[in-house]
Amino acid sequence: MSSVTELFKNNPVNRDRIIPLDFTNTKTLPNSHVWSITEPEPKTMSLPIPVISLSNPDQHVLLRQACEEWGVFHITDHGVPRSLLHNVECQMKRLFSLPMHRKILAVRSPDESTGYGVVRISMFYDKLMWSEGFSVLGSSLRRHATLLWPDDHAEFCNVMEEYQKAMDDLSLRLITMLMGSLGLTHEDLGWLVPDKTGSGTDSNSIQSFLQLNSYPVCPDPHLAMGLAPHTDSSLLTILYQGNIPGLEIQSPQEEGSRWIGVEPIEGSLVIIMGDLSHIISNGQFRTTMHRAVVNKTHHRVSAAYFAGPPKNLQIGPLACDKNHPPIYRRLLWEEYLAAKATHFNRALTLFRC
């Protein structure tokens, strides 16, 4: 059982926080979805979030700087074919455009990690978000897809499986580069060897989780929230957001006061550094608060791939020396996910030395 599967088993969500609103039949924002924004939100401005080409010979320096200053950046020349990104987007649209009575057939149960439903963090907020999701984890993908499309699920499954493979490879490359940029050697990262057996359960392989997000058009976007502010619990998250804006990050310069839009760049992928990289880098890499906003005209979809360390592998600060003693204690990903499931955005502080 993967750490993520265990997380859901041991920390079930409330049943009433699983099934989203039927957005297609909702022409005005119900009170349940009105976020009390009493003062006008500070104006969202776009500052240049780093764009890094993976074929740039100086990528190590650029990656390190982006992680230290932003914790979020775009990557280009990543090797993931545009056609695959396009197919993923089409399949997401196909899924979320199904009528509610079909999507409901694939709803996740409270202790399950795969299927249709609202995002987990919903339980930490009184108000509901203007979004729906579909979570993909391993073999239960086919079972859920069969519920959605009894005779016509092969293409969806093939595309999602191909995408997960591409993300497995890319996340491994990125983690190696990012940790390399901190001066960590192959020995420090001995666990990061690709899973040659192809079983996906190898104790050396990255554990991953794919979350498909859908943000339907919203009658009153300024009062609604697509995805509430959070940091990701992963080592890193690879986000494909198509060409509709919506992702915003908290300004690293003016913490808490301003949100910056991460504008889509054709063919790029967005890397969001997670809490675990912050821990491994002993606080050098930022883990950035982000959220998704909605709009009045375009249905937005995004695919978030969360990469975490192998199961049963303790991780902890590696970039330390006697002048920089560890500021976090060692932990397993499942321990961290469990802390996040209970304490949400305060989880990180619980692991400080």
Ligand X SMILES: C=C1C[C@]23C[C@H]1CC[C@H]2[C@@]12CCC[C@@](C)(C(=O)O1)[C@H]2[C@@H]3C(=O)O
Q: CB-wise, 112 or 232, nearer to ligand X?
A: 232
- Report what 102 binds from Fe ion, ligand AKG, ligand X, none; CB cut-off 5-8 Å by kind: none
Locate 62 and state its tokens. 């650029």
Asked if 311 and 249 count as a contact pair (C-beta separation under 8 A), the reply is no
Contact 17, 131 (CB under 8 A): no
State how far the Cα of 301 lies from the Cα of 257, in Å rounded to an integer. 27
* Residue number, 182 or 271, with CB nearest to ligand AKG: 271
**CB of 133 vs ligand AKG, minimal distance in Å:** 8
In sign, the C-alpha dihedral spanning 221, 224, 227, 230 is: positive
Catalytic residue at 300? yes
d(CA 154, CA 141): 11
CB within 8 A of 203, min separation 6: which ones?
310, 311, 312, 313
Answer yes or no: are the C-beta atoms of 338 and 265 closer than 8 Å: no
Instruction: Catalog residues that contact ligand X under the rule CB under 6 A.
Output: 4, 7, 119-121, 209, 211, 230, 232-234, 306, 337, 340
Interface ranges with Fe ion (CB under 5 A): 232
User: Which residues sit opposite 46 in a β-bridge?
Assistant: none
The active-site residue out of 300, 329, 330, 352 is 300
How is residue 89 written in tokens?
Answer: 């987007």
Question: Are the C-beta atoms of residues 246 and 294 closer than 8 Å to each other?
Answer: yes
Contacts with ligand AKG, residue ranges (CB under 6 A): 211, 213, 227, 232, 239, 241, 246-247, 290, 292, 302, 304
323: number of Cβ within 10 Å: 5
Active-site positions read 300
